[in-house]
Amino acid sequence: MMNDPQQQPFPSVALRTDVAHPARVYDVYLGGKDNFPADREAAQKVSETFPTISTTARANRDFLLRAVKQLAGSGVRQFLDIGTGIPTSPAIHEVAQGIDPHARVVYVDNDPMVLVHARALLTSTTALGRTAYVDADLRHPETILNDPQLWEVLDPALPVALILGAILHFLPDDLQPQAIVKQLLAALPRQSYLVLSHVTADFDSQWNEIERLYNAEFDIPLQVRSADEVAHFFTGLELLPPGLTVVSQWQPEGLGRLPSDASVSCVGGVGRMP
Ligand SMILES: C[S@@+](CC[C@H](N)C(=O)[O-])C[C@H]1O[C@@H](n2cnc3c(N)ncnc32)[C@H](O)[C@@H]1O
């Protein structure tokens, strides 16, 4: 059901085609078509600074899908994906329901373009599983946790995999992302999981310039973090093997050669709550 943006305490970001939006710039990196000239110009500036940005985006996306596949394969059937992005194929629910048709997925994003596509592509009730889309903002986690759809779709008695893929770098430290992640995890059932990825300047200092570009030129707050800083999001959780790694090295499939750490510059991991 569509929420009335006027009624929401924190309406999602306005649809502006003249400025870059994180979801649409990421769509450019992934080779998608749901973007505007402002997004393409921003992506072009980033790729002039860091020519393997598409490798970063692809490696991040593939990591999330492998993590979902792994968790669904080990019996997790509920997923809360905050910062969904413009739908790409396969979507999280397609991977999860491909393994267990009972899987349930709640998607959350604050971008109007994601909203439009998600309603068409990501909300469904299959014979066994179910998905829903919540138009809400990670900066206000209570709006996600209080949305009636959340616990209508997810069973509060069963573990949930919270997915925060390439979103936390859009929350600089002054927004207290550590506290937000803690608040979300505290609301989840025991033995839930956290799947998280985050860009870093650990392997290539050009990411400091990308941080500057996003903030100063695209007006999108972005903060790169070191792997040590990203590890703090997993405090109190047990990391699944191989721990927090460059995303391409997290349980890679196949025997193909992996891209260099510098060309990916994104770390991720999967943690399990006690
Ligand atoms: C780089 S994309 C990542 C998409 C997907 N999670 C992935 O990793 O493939 C980041 C997404 O987070 C969303 N996002 C950014 N800030 C957000 C916020 N405060 N609340 C909700 N969504 C947000 C953007 O709209 C975008 O769709």
**pLDDT, tens digit, 9 for 90 and up, residues 65-106:** 999 999 999 999 999 999 999 999 999 999 999 999 999 999
217-247 in b/e form (b: 16+ CB < 10 A) is: ebeeebbbbebebbbebbeebeebeeebbbb
What is the fold of 61-204+232-272?
Rossmann fold (3.40.50)
pLDDT of 52 higher than 90: yes
pTM (2 d.p.): 0.95
Pocket test for ligand 1, best of 35, 170, 197 (most atoms within 8 A of CB): 170
Pocket test for ligand 1, best of 12, 55, 79, 109 (most atoms within 8 A of CB): 109
For residue 152, the SS3 value is: helix
Which protein residues touch ligand 1 with a CB less than 6 Å away? Answer: 22-23, 26, 60-61, 64, 83-85, 109-111, 114, 137-139, 165-167, 170
Q: What is the pLDDT of residue 4?
A: 46
Domain ranges in the chain? Answer: 61-204+232-272
Ligand 1 center to 82 CA (angstroms)? 7
pLDDT of 3 higher than 50: no
Q: Is the dihedral of CA 247, 252, 254, 256 positive or negative?
A: positive
Classify residue 251 by its DSSP letter: S
Ligand 1 center to 255 CA (angstroms)? 30
pLDDT tens digits along 170-212: 999 999 999 999 999 999 999 999 999 999 999 999 999 999 9
Q: What is the pLDDT of residue 6?
A: 44
Beta bridge partners of 195: 163, 270
Nearest CA to ligand 1 atom 24: 23
Mean residue pLDDT of the chain comes to 93
pLDDT of 119 higher than 90: no
pLDDT tens digits along 223-257: 999 999 999 999 999 999 999 999 999 999 987 89
